[in-house]
Amino acid sequence: MATIEQMKFARGYTLGQLSQLEGADWDKLHPGFSNNIRWNAGHIFVSLENFTKMIAPDYESAHPEWNGLFNTGTSPDGWGEGVPSNEEILSALKEQTDRIAGVLEGQLDGQLGRPLEIAGHHMDTGEKLLQFTVWHEGVHGGILNAMVHLAKS
C-alpha cells in the first residue's frame, strides 16, 4: 500500500503545479519543450490508465478516446476537434488516483501478464510497474514546474 500512497502524493504535486497555471495558456509551446501543459497533464492521466490496465487486464480505462492525443509519441501538432478542456483534464486527474487505488488493491504482488522493460529496467509485477508510474508522474510534474516558472516570467 505504500506505493499507492506515493501515487497519491505524486498526484498531489501534479495538481499543485497545475493550480499555479490557472489562467495560463495550456496550449502554448515554450522554447525547449516538445509538448505543452495540456499534453503533459493529459499524458499523466493516460499513462496511469494504461499502466493500470497492464496490472489489472479487466480494468476498463476511463477516457480511452484520449489515448490518441496523449500517449507516448503523440504531440499537440495537428490537434483538431475533441481535445479535452483544462477543466475536463483537471477533473479526471483529481478523481483518478482514488479510483485506481480501489482497482489495484490486492493486485500489486501479482506478476504482469506481459512484463515491461524500459531502458533495461525490467518490471514484472504490479508493484514494480506502479512504482515506475509514480516516477514517471514525477518527471512530468517537474516539466510542469518548469512551465509554471515560464508562465510567470
Q: What is the mean pLDDT of residues 91-105?
A: 97
Cell of 7: 501515487
Q: Place 152 in a pLDDT band, splitting at 50, 70 and 90.
A: confident
| Residue 3 contacts residue 108 (beta carbons within 8 Å) | yes
pLDDT more than 70, % of the chain: 99
Give the domain ranges of the chain.
1-13+57-76+84-105
Q: Is the separation of the CB atoms in 54 and 116 below 8 Å?
A: yes
pLDDT, tens digit, 9 for 90 and up, residues 24-57: 899 999 999 999 999 999 999 999 999 999 999 9
